[in-house]
Amino acid sequence: MSVIIRLFLAATGMAVALAFTPTSFIINRATIGPNRGSSSLCMVQGRGGGDNTYKRVFVAGGSRGVGRLVVDKLLASGSDVVALVRSEETSRELSALGGVTAIRGDAMDYKTVEGAMDGCDAAITTLGGGRDPRSDGKWVDYVGNNNVIEAAGVLGVTRVVLVTSIGCGSSKDATPPSVYEVLEDVLTQKSKAENVLIKYYTNMNWTIVRPGGLVSAPETGLSILTEDTTAIGSIHRGDVADLVVRALSSKNTERKILSAVDPSIASSANPARRTTEAFVLV
């Protein structure tokens, strides 16, 4: 495993402790209005229902982490899922779930991605993990995600949600410099994938979701999306998945770049207890 991969994987824990360790990321409740818990996200309408429900959603990265939870939430919302996975074990596990078609394959191979996505009406990618030794050290964070975007374009799958990270693109300055330095390579690769959507897929209905530091813990239900590119914080994986699936069917997330953080999680990355405005999904 390369140093970079190890650094980024280590950042899963480190992000919680450092970079994405927002201690006091507070939302301005006066600004965001009423909600289910204390986040305005509960104002989302038609969760999984209504006009924007997708029948068959392609998911890349659905074997574990955020992507696996996205699969569960899509099923709960009434969508069928086509999951591109690498291992036989994961394929069996997902195939056992009603509503999931698991296809084994490598996201670094364009034709594999296109073949798996064919017949879907939306696509979500949470692909990540750094350089792929099986693909000449190319980064799945760029090449894999780019394959998903390109296949969506070729197949006419006009709804795409790309999960990247706070620290990408316009949110670069949100990460403390010392942390950015450690994560720079992977954030650069993810930013390249973002740029493909932003600069070349101007007619596509895409949404970019940039989570803060990921934590594997039960959902709080208090996480938010925000257009504030300086936002930094931690967030539980289930909450990211929840936001991603809500954003997918939301009517106001077209060509939006949204950071995802949980204001209820204490963090040392926001010692000034700065407030931010939540993006209200409709």
Contact footprint for ligand NAP (CB under 6 A): 11-12, 15, 61, 63-67, 84, 86-87, 106-108, 126-129, 132, 140, 144, 163, 165, 211, 213-214, 237
Question: C-beta of 33: minimal distance to ligand NAP in Å?
Answer: 27
Q: Return the number of the residue (212 or 221) whose C-beta is nearest ligand NAP.
A: 212
3-state secondary structure of 161: strand
Question: C-beta of 229: minimal distance to ligand NAP in Å?
Answer: 15
56: β partners: 80
Distances (CA, A) of 248 to 9, 92, 183, 256: 27, 26, 27, 11
Q: Return the number of the residue (51 or 136) whose C-beta is nearest ligand NAP.
A: 136
Helices within the chain (DSSP H only) = 3-17, 29-32, 65-76, 88-95, 110-117, 145-155, 177-195, 237-249
Question: C-beta of 4: minimal distance to ligand NAP in Å?
Answer: 12
- Inter-residue contact 54 to 75 (CB < 8 Å): no
Tell me the two tokens of residue 69.
Answer: 């939870």
Question: C-beta of 106: minimal distance to ligand NAP in Å?
Answer: 5
Which residue's C-beta sits nearest to ligand NAP?
A: 65
Q: Return the number of the residue (35 or 59) whose C-beta is nearest ligand NAP.
A: 59
- Report which of 189, 84, 86 is spatially closest to residue 140, judged by C-alpha positions: 189
Q: Return the number of the residue (78 or 129) whose C-beta is nearest ligand NAP.
A: 129
Q: Return the number of the residue (101 or 126) whose C-beta is nearest ligand NAP.
A: 126
